[in-house]
A and B are shown apart, each in its own frame.
Chain A
Amino acid sequence: MNLENTKAQMRKGVLEFCILSILSEDEAYVSDLINKMKDAKLIVVEGTLYPLLNRLKNEGVLEYRWEESKSGPPRKYYKITPEGKAMLDELKQSWQELITSVNSILSI
């Protein structure tokens, strides 16, 4: 139970980074985003994503536009902002640093 929690916490730490990463390539609808994350086994359920996207949008890192849908309610398409790009670059750097540090500890 505790192990699962730790794992979830680890994943959550990098969720933001991954979302920004995915969105840096192209704008995406939530379900596309979710599918990509699911494929990468980063998240299991969609629920986790909504509060996170909302917060990132409120921080000005993401923005969205509405698009009509044939098969349902209008969809929100999320896109990264310039601030988001800057943040992503910093995150990429610290990710590299983190990998190096963690690996150096693990190899002992």
Chain B
Amino acid sequence: MKKTVTVNISGIIFHIDEDAYDKLLDYIEEIRSYLTSTEGKDEIIADVEARVAEMLQQKVSETKQVINIEDVDSIILLMGEPSQFGSEPDTTNSRKRERSYSAKRFYRDPDNKVIGGVCSGIANYFNIDPLWVRIVFAVALFVFGSGVLLYLFLWLITPEARTTAEKLEMRGEAVNIYNIERSVKEELTQLKKRFKGFKKKDKSYSVREKSNNQAESIIEKIVHIFLTILKIFVRVFVIVLGIVLIFIGIFLLIGFLGSIIKGGEVVSFTNIGVANFSFSSFLQLIIDSPTQITMVTLGLLLLVGIPLLMIIYNGVKMIFGFKTKIRVIGISAFSLWIAGLILCVFVFIKVISGFSTKIVVPQKYNITHSVKTPLYIDIKTNDSIESYIEYNQEYFNNNWYLAKHDSRNSGFGIPWITITTSETDSIKLIIFSEARGHNQKEATINAKNIKYNYTQTDTTLVLDPFFTVENYDKWRMQRVRVLLKIPEGEKVVISKKLYYYNNSIEDDMFGKRLVMHNGDFVEEQKKEGHDSIK
């Protein structure tokens, strides 16, 4: 006992054994694959099917109603191997046919269409009644007007389910014999219609080509022309987009590689030595070991480089329109990217720990000022630092900036100066050196490497415009805060130059004779006329 399939070949119904059906279907499909490059492929297939039907007809009789595998074998013997159908003058055609029955795919449904079969295709894909999809599209048409665009777009990009296998894929059914049987049964009624129709029509066309009735043909033709034009536009657009993507990708990649390898100059102090501040020297400043620098460089290359390479790759793909097993490339790119991320995160954690402990080392100095004239508080003149500070004021306020002097292996930073009232009766200068490290010991060493000087005469206190960091090779947020405490009644003049180092003095107090009065600077009454020092 065997299960049989009812099959319609060229308009004739046959009962055929399952295995025989499989073999016949394979045979026809294989012929089709050999004919892919041949003009009039569908017509040839139709001819072959007609001949097969005729021969099968001779194999059945009143007593033998079912086609079996022997019948199919004998027909294949008569018709010849699929390779012999290949483009005729050339027998060396050895193309492998490609067929994949797998997951559900989105196709337009040609058997159940109103315009292009998009709605029924969607319905098939989601296993719902096409009516609902059509209602949604109709509503979208009236409400947003976007229904038309979406419809045309889907029509443009979606292939039509032509073969039985494609139709099964469309419905998402496993391509087994029962489903094919059902599908073929459904097709039977359609084919009968076609068969009736095709006798009336142009004889030089095959049954397949002229399958649809006249009702849709005018709309379909107009839309088809429109879509063809649209397709060309889309193609051109995609190519342009691809070129743009490639360019963007290449530029970014070059820029990125350039900054990693060489690095640009960020700032320079001409008078105190050139300080080149490139990306790689930045890495050296914050990362402990060369191994970690290598790791983070590699990590960044992967983290940034891979997305850029993917942009270029997609651009190339768009231009040439080829399809690849994106999954292989995608997965390997993604895992490399993750590896890059892990490297970066690892080094980042290490770097963070290098900043975990903060130490402030204060140094107190007494400033003696016994003469009557006011104490003149000034900053040693350094044109390049001044102009730099003036230029970068907004960024400067955190004063964590450290320039590295390449030849002298020391760093330069700008101190923050606060002038306030003193609780004692003498002038006190306190210099806070601050730095960070992995632990207290390291942070203390880093803090003690900071050097900051001042000079004092009878009437002047001149502060240095910058502090230096000896053996400077790691940036650990070194900074200097200067606290100058002025006792009650003490007279001072604060140089205008302090303006940029300071936020404790009112703007209009600079350059004037001031006196400390009740914890605040006030302008001294001008008894002696004004001979303000500056």
Contacts and interface: CB of A to CB of B under 8 A. Distances in A.
Nearest to A45: B80
Given A46-B51, A72-B54, A54 B89 contact: no
A44 B80 CA distance: 8
B265 interface: no
A45 B77 CA distance: 7
Contacts of A94: none
B89 A12 contact: yes
Contacts of B81: 45, 47
Contact of B44 (A8, A51, A66): A51
Interface in A37-84: 44-48, 50-55, 57-58, 64-66, 69, 71-76
A43 to B, nearest CB: 9
B397 to A, nearest CB: 83
A73 B48 contact: no
Contact of A12 (B10, B39, B77, B88): B88
B12 interface: yes
Contacts of A73: 9-12, 50, 53-54
A45 B81 CA distance: 8
B91 A46 contact: no
A54 B44 CA distance: 7
A1 B11 CA distance: 40
Contacts of A53: 47
Chain A contact-residue range equals: 20 to 34
A47 B54 contact: no
B522 interface: no
Contacts of A74: 50, 199
A100 interface: no
Q: Quick one: which of A9, A48, A66, A72 has the most chain B CB within 10 A? A: A72
Contacts of B204: 57
B457 to A, nearest CB: 109
Given A12-B88, A31-B51, A47 B82 contact: yes
A12 B38 CA distance: 17
B84 interface: yes
Interface string B56-90: 01100000000000000000011111101111110
Interface residues of B, number: 36
Contacts of B79: 45-47
A41 to B, nearest CB: 15
B469 interface: no
A75 B92 CA distance: 31
Contacts of A71: 54, 57-58
B199 A66 contact: yes
Nearest to A46: B79
Contacts of B38: 51, 54
B41 to A, nearest CB: 9
A64 B47 CA distance: 12
B463 interface: no
A28 interface: no
B515 interface: no
B35 interface: yes
B91 A9 contact: yes
B31 interface: yes
A107 interface: no
B408 interface: no
A9 B91 CA distance: 8
10 contacts: A5-B91, A31-B51, A47-B48, A47-B84, A48-B80, A48-B85, A50-B48, A73-B53, A75-B54, A76-B50
Interface of A: 5, 8-9, 12, 30-31, 44-48, 50-55, 57-58, 64-66, 69, 71-76
Given A9-B91, A55-B39, A73-B54, 16 more contacts: A5-B91, A45-B77, A45-B78, A45-B79, A47-B81, A48-B85, A50-B85, A51-B88, A54-B43, A55-B40, A58-B39, A58-B40, A71-B57, A72-B53, A73-B11, A73-B50
Interface of B: 9-12, 31, 35, 38-40, 43-44, 47-48, 50-51, 53-54, 57-58, 77-82, 84-89, 91-92, 199, 203-204
